[in-house]
Amino acid sequence: MLVFERARIVQGDFTMAADFAVPEGARVAVIGPSGAGKSTLLAAVAGFIPLAEGRILWAGQDLAPLAPGARPLSILFQDQNLFPHLTVLQNVGLGLRPDLRLDRGQQAQVAAALERVGLAGLGARRPAQLSGGQQGRVALARALLRARPLLLLDEPFAALGPALKAEMLDLVAEIAAETGSTVLMVSHEPADARRFAPLSVLVAEGRAEPPLPTATLLDSPPPALAAYLGH
């Protein structure tokens, strides 16, 4: 279970409070107006932004002392998810061993992960030689190998077309189901949220609200969300 315990994030004159729990294995969309702090919420979980107050706990353990790489999570950013000078194999391999000294078994795991995301045979390429969707798949393959219980998606597929994005979200859902991961996904698209996430967290007006069923939230949105959705 991911718990925000009276957590407060302060950045200049921006503040956000969160005090709720996300059940283990849940897929949760983080929705809300632009600039409300959706990405900031994820960055706080991932360890890039320190909390001003409160705690964030995973499975009862406070995450604060853990460096970003040591937290029980993988994160996919909006962009720059891959190192452009490394090959696809190397980029994925980093998920297993950050020093890339992979043994045979681990190499096989990398190949299997690439095959799982539909990129078999493209391991020798560099990111610039891949399409946007393929780049997303490489990042997913790496997340798959890292096998962390928590997966944070900061709109990594925002640049993809609707069909491709749907495909990627399905892939994430499958992988999350296979690994039992808890997923937090920032989304701008109500349709994506409905499709992917049974639960949604609304971030608006300096607060991240406790998760509610996505359908409930979207069908009878509170005023802040309604304005954003254009109702």
Partner 1 sequence: MADRAVALSGRLGTAFGLAVAGLVLCLTLGTLAAVAWRAEAASGLGPADWAAVRFTLLQAALSATISLLLAVPVARAFARRRFRGRSVLIALLGAPFILPVIVAVLGLLAVFGRSGLLNDALRAVGLPEVSIYGLQGVLVAHVFFNLPLATRLILQGWAAIPAERFRLAASLGLGAAEVGRFLERPMLRAVLPGAWVAVFVVCLTSFAVALTLGGGPAATTVELAIYQAFRFDFDLSRAALLAAVQFALCLAAGGLAGWVARPAGFGAGLDRPADRWDARSGWLRAQDAGVIALVSLFLLLPLALVLLRGVPQLAALPGSVWAAAVRSVVVALTSTALCLALALPLAIAATGRGGRWIEAAGMLGLATSSLVLATGLFLLLRPFVRPGDLALPVTVLVNAVMALPFVLRALLPALRDLQAGYGRLAASLGLRGLARLRLLTLPRLRAPLGFGAGLAAALSMGDLGVIALFADQGTETLPLQLYRLMGAYRMDDAAGAAVLLLGLSLGLFWAFDRGGRGHAGL
The binding site for partner 1 (CB under 8 A) comprises: 11, 43, 46-50, 67-70, 74-75, 77, 80-81, 83-86, 90, 94-95, 98-100, 126-129, 142, 146
Pick 34 or 80: Cβ nearer partner 1:
80
By beta-carbon proximity to partner 1, the closer residue of 78 and 210 is 78
* Chain-centroid distance, C-alpha 190: 17
The CB-of-128 to partner 1 minimum distance in angstroms stands at 5
Crossing angle of helices 132-146 and 104-116, in 10° steps, is: 130
Taking the complex as a whole, how short is the minimal distance between the CB of residue 221 and partner 1, in angstroms?
Answer: 31
| DSSP-assigned letters across all residues of 123-178 | TT--GGGS-HHHHHHHHHHHHHHHT-SEEEEESTTTTS-HHHHHHHHHHHHHHHHH
CB neighbour list of residue 181: distance below 8 Å, 6 or more residues apart: 25, 148, 149, 150, 151, 175
Is the Cα torsion angle 94, 109, 146, 196 positive or negative in sign? Answer: positive
- In the complex, the smallest distance separating the C-beta of residue 217 from partner 1, rounded to whole angstroms, is 29
Using CA atoms, how far residue 20 sits from 7, 27, 138, 201, 212, in Å, is 9, 15, 32, 10, 11
| Minimum separation from the CB atom of position 98 to partner 1 (A) | 4
CB of 229 to partner 1, least distance (A): 30
Judged by CB, which is closer to partner 1: 107, or 194? 107
Which lies closer to partner 1 via its Cβ, residue 44 or residue 204?
A: 44
Q: Residue 151: beta bridge partners?
A: 74, 183
The residue (of 135 and 214) whose beta carbon lies closer to partner 1 is 135
